[in-house]
Amino acid sequence: MLGFFVLGRGTSCVLSGASPNMSDECTDPCTAQVRFRLLRNGTWDTQGGGGSGGWISSPCQTATVGDSYEAEFVVDTGDGPTSTSSSPTGAGNWYTISSTLDWTWTTSVAGGLDGTATVTVREIADTGNSVTFSLTAHTLVE
């Protein structure tokens, strides 16, 4: 669902999601790691591929725009992150994006992690104004 609100005259703030596919593989000894982050300034990025972008349109990206938004992280299938900036994860656990929120999958021994997750960002003042990210995370130490 794409939402929007108007900021000032003629500026439309549109929320925008994506479907990052993050992957990191290496040969032991090593550490394979992927990460998804929501930044307070209205942008998102990844480590391990998957790209970056804005979770809100660029005219509305300010240093503190995240103070008016919150995020929920839900593991859909497989392995969840091995570390997070906020816990617990799961449905109904909303965290204000007043600082960077990140979810990281790390493997440092032979084996790997594979999972999918949904991250929802919504406006605090209008929770119907929301957007979803569908994440895929893969790490492998061979």
The answer on pLDDT for 11 being more than 80 is no
The answer on pLDDT for 7 being more than 60 is no
CATH architecture of 4-141: Sandwich (2.60)
Pair 48, 128: CB distance under 8 Å: no
* Domain chopping of the chain, boundaries: 4-141
- Neighbour-count burial of 30, counting CB atoms closer than 10 A to its CB (0-12 exposed, 13-18 middle, 19+ buried): middle
Residues forming a β-bridge with 117: 75, 135
Q: How far apart are the first and last CA of the chain?
A: 39
Query: Tens digit of pLDDT for each residue in 68-117?
Result: 999 999 999 999 999 998 778 999 999 999 999 999 999 999 999 999 99
Euclidean distance between CA atoms 131 and 142, whole angstroms: 36
Euclidean distance between CA atoms 45 and 1, whole angstroms: 20
